[in-house]
Structure 1
Amino acid sequence: MIKTRLRDFLITRDDWIFAVSDYFHPHGIRSTLRYVPDDSGERELAGKRYKKYDFDVAFDFMRMNRPEWVEDVHVVPEENIKEVLSPSSAIARLYGLDKRVTEIVDILEREGINREMMGITGSLLPGLQNEGSDIDFVVYGEKWFVARDAITKAKSEPGPIEDIDMDMWKNIYNKRIPEISFDEFVLHEKRKGNRGMVDGTYFDLLFVRSWEQIKDPAPRGIDTGTMRTEAKVTNADFAFDSPSIYKVEHDEIDHVLSYTHTYAGQALEGETIEVQGVVEQIGEIKRLVVGTSREPKGEWIRSLTLLEKEGYI
């Protein structure tokens, strides 16, 4: 049995490259197609050219070429997998060669985070980056919060780590197309502290569960309609996970899930949130799901506590 987790990459026998998108794989590895060999591709690895596929294009390709692998994500049978790429392996390969990666690693190591708890995902993991590629930096488990604090501290001091300027925030906002205003988006994002610039390159600090944190998956429920409501967050330990999980105090809803990275880390424990999403019934439990489509319309999470504190409401 192949052991993988969120943000690993895998390579099939056809040299298709997928990003693992889940911790749980009941019948094949749940993932999303990212790169396919193509003579006209704009990226190159080991003498072979590749084309990067965005989400919708990847699904079109898979429906045409491997329709039996298409569900809500792509499910790759284990017998078709040639290699699994762990984000931690990219640290060993890039440290000392990529100045930007080296600088981030050095900052985190000074805070007591071992390299085994770090990783690089995205295009740098298989070696298919280009000049415009961001750095998707992974930290595993509870060490992620230590790393986030270290990056926040580094942004306030002279050095290679800097905060994001307003032009970059606008680019991120326009890319994500959230259902909240730009000002509210930036207010929430700046508090999260997991984005920055290193030597002029944008990077994101991504949470992935440690192996000990991976438990049995929640079963899929039945969609019963939509809801807009307010609730108090009682636990946000996995607010930066994918999906983000917020345990809430509410008459009907047990917890809120967000499948879009836009609302990861959107609220802290003890805060009141406004959320609109799809109600999912699982036995006696209801959860409220945000991000039910690639660019979810009419779905959001806002921290009313944060907005009130900063004078937005």
Structure 2
Amino acid sequence: MAIDILTKDFIETAERLVFAVVMPTLEQGKVLCFLRYVTEDHLWKKLSTEQANNFLKQHYPQYLYYSPVLDAQLHAVPLEYIAIHHQPKQRLQQLLQSKHNDLIEDDAVQLCDLLQANAVNMAQLGITGSLLIGAQHAESDIDLVCHQRQVFHYCRQVIKSLIDQGRLQDLSQADWQEAYSRRDCALSFAEYVWHEQRKYNKAMINGRKFDLSFVGDVSSSNTQIYQKCGAITLQCKVKDDSRAFDYPAEFAVDAEEISTIVSFTATYTGQAQCNETIEVSGILEQNQHGLKRVVVGSSREAHGEYIKVIHA
């Protein structure tokens, strides 16, 4: 039976390992993903990247995987090993109809009520992260996903409007500082905040941070095989930003011999707009047809790799 697995979905194995899906296309019958939660004393425990890799090396090395398409080490789960497919849309609808919500769920429902009151099509929204599997705690963020491009961009406009009206709040200096320290990115704090504040894909509700991500469908994903050619830093102008919020984010540029900048790192999603000049540091890649691109986020942390606007 065909199974529709999308980026930001969670898949759970019989061993109660929960992986976040990172690509909607299968490789060798496996879902490309990254281990995010394991159980400890019957409770969900979130793992960092390093913890997840070490845990699998020690206990379940069969889920470690090298992707020839992405030319990257990540995790992969064969379709037949999936015990539960956690789907953001279904979980959000369940949450909206639930009568027994905790504080985090209450905030998520209140946020959705605000969006719905401003004509956002809730059928295209879902919820991922800890709320998707009921692993939330008092400090948890709300991670919304949107499965339709026009709805996603309209939702960003609504978030901006609600901030302007004071019904949602922009992140405080301390909130931005916390987000920045978690990202461990190559930008300065001031650069990071300047880029983030104009995206309108995150804000606060009742003192709780929420994020909004766009998730395209399987047909919009790129399955070309690229090989790494080495590190590169360049400056170029953005010609097309229509896929800037996709995963991976993609910016068509006017650089010589290089057609696109691609980012697998959430920090640089939506980072630049059409006609802006950017500086990019990443890995030059080339596919079998000779097409070249620069990838930012060639590893999960992408140390020293960045996209920043130098002339808006």
Per-residue deviation, residues 215-237 of structure 1 (Å, max 9, x unmatched): 35232211111211111111112
The 8 Å contact of residues 126 and 145 in structure 2, kept in 1 or not, is answered as yes
The alignment partner of 1:268 has SS state of coil
Paired with 1:99 and 1:246, the residues of 2 have a C-alpha distance of: 37
Aligned ranges 1:93-132 → 2 under 5 Å:
93-95=94-96, 97=101, 98-132=105-139
**Distance change >3 Å, CA 94–CA 216, structure 1 → 2:** closer
CA apart distance, 1:4: 0.3
Q: Which amino acid in 2 is paired with 1:242?
A: Y
Measured at CA, do residues 146 and 240 of structure 1 come closer, stay the same or move farther in structure 2, by a change above 3 Å?
A: same
What's 1:195 paired with? 202
User: Does the 8 Å CA contact 1:88/1:115 hold for their aligned counterparts?
Assistant: no
**Range 280-289 or range 236-245, more displaced:** 236-245
1:219 to 224, 230, 236: 224
Report percent identity of matched pairs.
Answer: 34
Structure 2 unaligned regions, length at least 5: 66-72
Whether 2:49 is the aligned partner of 1:31: answer no
1:29–1:76 Cα contact (<8 Å) kept = yes
Aligned to 2:24, the other structure's residue is in SS state coil
Preserved CA contact (<8 Å) 1:238 1:246 = yes
Q: Look up the match of 1:301.
A: 307
Match of 1:3 in 2: 4
- TM-score, normalising length from structure 2? 0.90
1:90 and 1:198 map into 2 onto residues whose CA distance is: 20
Query: Given the alignment, which residue of 175, 200, 203 partners 1:168?
Result: 175
Q: Return the alpha-carbon distance in structure 2 between the equivalents of residues 113 and 214 of structure 1.
A: 24
Q: Is 2:50 the counterpart of 1:56?
A: yes
Instruction: Output the CA distance in 2 between the equivalents of 1:38 and 1:99.
Output: 26
SS in 2 for 1:237: strand
Distance 1:134 1:57 in 2: 21
Q: What's the offset of the Cα at 1:294?
A: 2.8
Give the 3 Å change call, closer, same or farther, for CA 12–110 of structure 1 in structure 2: same
Superposed, which structure 2 residues align to 1:1-313 within 5 Å?
A: 1-26=2-27, 27-39=29-41, 48-71=42-65, 72-95=73-96, 97=101, 98-142=105-149, 143-159=151-167, 161-209=168-216, 211=217, 214-215=219-220, 217-282=222-287, 283-306=289-312
CA deviations over 1:278-301 (Å, ceiling 9, x no partner): 100112100001112232222111
Distance 1:273 1:153, change over 3 A: same
Count of aligned residue pairs for this structure pair: 295
Whether contact under 8 Å (1:91, 1:115) holds in the other structure is no
Report the secondary structure of 1:31's partner residue. strand
Select between 66-75 and 250-259 the one with higher mean Cα deviation.
66-75
The TM-score with structure 1 as length reference comes to 0.90
> Which protein has greater RCO, CA pairs closer than 8 Å, 6+ apart?
2
Q: What is the alpha-carbon distance in structure 2 between the residues aligned to residue 62 and residue 80 of structure 1?
A: 15
Mapped to 2, the partners of 1:266 and 1:217 lie a distance apart of 20
User: What letter is aligned with 2:147?
Assistant: Y
1:32 partner amino acid:
F
SS of alignment partner, residue 5 of structure 1: coil
In 2, Cα distance between the equivalents of 1:31 and 1:296? Answer: 17
User: What is the CA RMSD across the aligned residues, in angstroms?
Assistant: 1.5
